[in-house]
Structure formats: structure tokens, C-alpha cells
């Protein structure tokens, strides 16, 4: 690894939302995730976990590692009142960030207003917690729909727009990322971007960080604006910082 890649990898660690949204996640897995969040090269930005583990994780983590949790996840089709109740409860339990799936199916059916309304309601329910709107770009596919979903989420008050749940057949892609980043550039450069799912290698992570800075400017990709959603890339990033090869890994 070059010195440049080592530095990019170090920056990526600081922007990582270290994720466990597996179906069999338990408190032991949360303990392990919290331990991994503090690395020899700095802490990750956040852990991203199921709502039922937020209160437990809050007791394990240092204050500088945020807790993100998910609502309306992964389908994007849960009843609105259930989503609002879950958001409010997660914040009370200690969540700093709410990653919400937009009702992307309704957007595909021509009911764009429902996307805007849902984001607005979750944003209000989240209070001071940041909201990341998950577009599920692999299901939208169409570039115009991805662009429209990005704009609606930002208009609704989302602090970040995020590509994917990691549960669909297609997760983050550089093509979808480019569309979303251009919408942020034209709408409000202070809003954030999070690719998620399918980020396996240090080069994968670096590609998204470099694309973000090509579009939004050098130095834009800091934790306040840029996150990487992944479970398996941390070891690869640490290896890149240390100038060695990482073993292949699997996961979100």
C-alpha cells in the first residue's frame, strides 16, 4: 500500500459506520462490535445496530462513537405510526442517528409526496438526532428515480442520504453515488452521503471517498458529511493503514 492509500484508509476508518444488522445479532455480537469500534488508528464514526440493542450499546461505547439505528427497515413499507414510535423510542434509548428507509415502492408507483412526508415526520420525531434517508438505489435502478428520491429526502430534512439497506440484491454502486452526490452539491453541500452494502476492500472505501471529494471538493469527506456503511471492511482498512494485505472477508 502506498502512503497515500494508508492516509485515505485512516480517514475512512474515522468515517465508518461499523454495522451489525444480521438476523441473529445478540448482546455478545454487540459487545464485539463495540470493542472493534475502537481501533489502534482511531475510533469509527458510529456503530449501526438494531433498535432493540441501542440502550445496551450505549453503556458499552465511548462517548465519541455514535449509535445509529434503523427504522422502516429493511422493507420501507412499515406503517407510519410504527416508524414514528420506533424512532422516538430509539432516541430515548440513546440513538444519535436514525437510518430510515424511505417508502421507495411508493415513489416507484408515483406517490412521491409520501416519501417527502415520511422523511419530514421521522425528522421531527428524531429531534436532535441526525436522520439518514436510505433510498434503496438498487431497487429504484432508474437514474431519474434515484435523483428524485435524493431530492425528496433532502427536502424532507434528511441530514444524509444513504444508498442502500444492504439487504437488496444490489447495494451501493459508484453510479448511484455519483447521482446522489451531485444532488447534494446542487441542494446543500452541508448535507451528508453514506454508501452502504458491498463495501469489502480498502479500495472500495477509497473509491467512494475520492468520488465524494471530486464532486464536493477536497476535504469534504469528513464524518460530519460522509459515512461508509459496512461490517467487513474495517480489517481491510486497518491493514491498509499498516501497509499489509488484508484477508478476504464477507459481510454487509
> For all residues of the chain together, what is the average pLDDT?
96
Q: Which residues contact 224 (CB under 8 A, 6 or more apart)?
A: 192
**Backbone phi, then psi, for 178, in 5-degree steps?**
-60, -45
pTM of the entire predicted model? 0.95
Which among 89, 178, 38, 191 is positioned nearest to 163, based on CA atoms?
A: 178
Number of domains in the chain: 1
pLDDT tens-digit readout, 68-108: 999 999 999 999 999 999 999 999 999 999 999 999 999 99
CA 33 to chain centre: 16
The mean pLDDT of 155-159, rounded to a whole number, is 98
Is 212 part of a structural domain of the chain?
Answer: yes
Which cell is 216 given? 464536493
Catalytic pick among 99, 123, 132, 204:
99
Domain of 105: which CATH number? 3.20.20.70
Cα separation of 93 and 236, whole Å? 32
Q: Does residue 99 have an active-site annotation?
A: yes
Is 250 part of a structural domain of the chain?
Answer: no
Q: Does residue 162 have an active-site annotation?
A: yes
Is 246 part of a structural domain of the chain?
Answer: no
Domain that holds residue 85: 3-241
Is 152 part of a structural domain of the chain?
Answer: yes
Q: Does residue 194 have an active-site annotation?
A: yes
Omega cis (within 30) before 237: no
pLDDT tens-digit readout, 4-35: 999 999 999 999 999 999 999 999 999 999 99
Amino acid at each position: 500500500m502506498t502512503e497515500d492509500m494508508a492516509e485515505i484508509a485512516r480517514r475512512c476508518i474515522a468515517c465508518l459506520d461499523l454495522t451489525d444488522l444480521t438476523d441473529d445479532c445478540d448482546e455478545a455480537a454487540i459487545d464485539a462490535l463495540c470493542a472493534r469500534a475502537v481501533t489502534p488508528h482511531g475510533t469509527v464514526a458510529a456503530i449501526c445496530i438494531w433498535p432493540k440493542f441501542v440502550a445496551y450499546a450505549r453503556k458499552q461505547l465511548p462517548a465519541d462513537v455514535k449509535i445509529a439505528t434503523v427504522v422502516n427497515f429493511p422493507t420501507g413499507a412499515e406503517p407510519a405510526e410504527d416508524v414514528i414510535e420506533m424512532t422516538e423510542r430509539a432516541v430515548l434509548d440513546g440513538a444519535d442517528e436514525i437510518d430510515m428507509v424511505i417508502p421507495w415502492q411508493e415513489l416507484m408507483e408515483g406517490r412521491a409526496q409520501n416519501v417527502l412526508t415520511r422523511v419530514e415526520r421521522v425528522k421531527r420525531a428524531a429531534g436532535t438526532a441526525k436522520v439518514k434517508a436510505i433510498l434503496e438505489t438498487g431497487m429504484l435502478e432508474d437514474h431519474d428515480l434515484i435523483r428524485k428520491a435524493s431530492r425528496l429526502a433532502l427536502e424532507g430534512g434528511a441530514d444524509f442520504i444513504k444508498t442502500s439497506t444492504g439487504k437488496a440484491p444490489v447495494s451501493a454502486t459508484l453510479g448511484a453515488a455519483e447521482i446522489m452526490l451531485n444532488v447534494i452539491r446542487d441542494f446543500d453541500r452541508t448535507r451528508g452521503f453514506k454508501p452502504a452494502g458491498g463495501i469489502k476492500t480498502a479500495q472500495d472505501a477509497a473509491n467512494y471517498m475520492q468520488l465524494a471529494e471530486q464532486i464536493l471538493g477536497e476535504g469534504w469527506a469528513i464524518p460530519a458529511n460522509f459515512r461508509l456503511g459496512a461490517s467487513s471492511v474495517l480489517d481491510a482498512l486497518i491493514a491498509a493503514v499498516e501497509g499489509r494485505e488484508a484477508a478476504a472477508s464477507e459481510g454487509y
